[in-house]
Amino acid sequence: MLDWIQSNDNIVWWLVASSAFTFIASLILVPMLVVRIPADYFTHRKRHHKKPEKYPPAIRIIVLIIKNVLGLILFCAGILMLVLPGQGLFTMFIGIMMMNFPGKYKLERWIVERGPVLKSINWLRDRAGHAPLEVSTD
Burial of residue 34, with CB atoms counted within 10 A of its CB: 0-12 exposed, 13-18 middle, 19 or more buried = middle
- pLDDT over 80 at 83, yes or no: no
Indicate if the pLDDT at residue 4 is higher than 80.
Answer: no
Does position 19 have pLDDT exceeding 80, yes or no?
no
Helical axes 9-34 vs 88-98, angle rounded to 10°: 60
* Most confident by average pLDDT, 23-27, 103-107, 129-133: 129-133
CA 22 – CA 93 distance, rounded (Å): 12
CB 91 within 8 A of CB 79: no
pLDDT at 13 over 90: no
Is there a contact between 53 and 63 (Cβ–Cβ < 8 Å)?
no
SS3 85: coil
Of 87, 106, 4, 97, the closest CA to residue 45 belongs to 106
Is the pLDDT reported for residue 59 higher than 80?
yes
> In this predicted structure, what is the pLDDT of residue 126?
92
107 pLDDT more than 70: yes
> What average pLDDT does this structure show over 68-85?
83
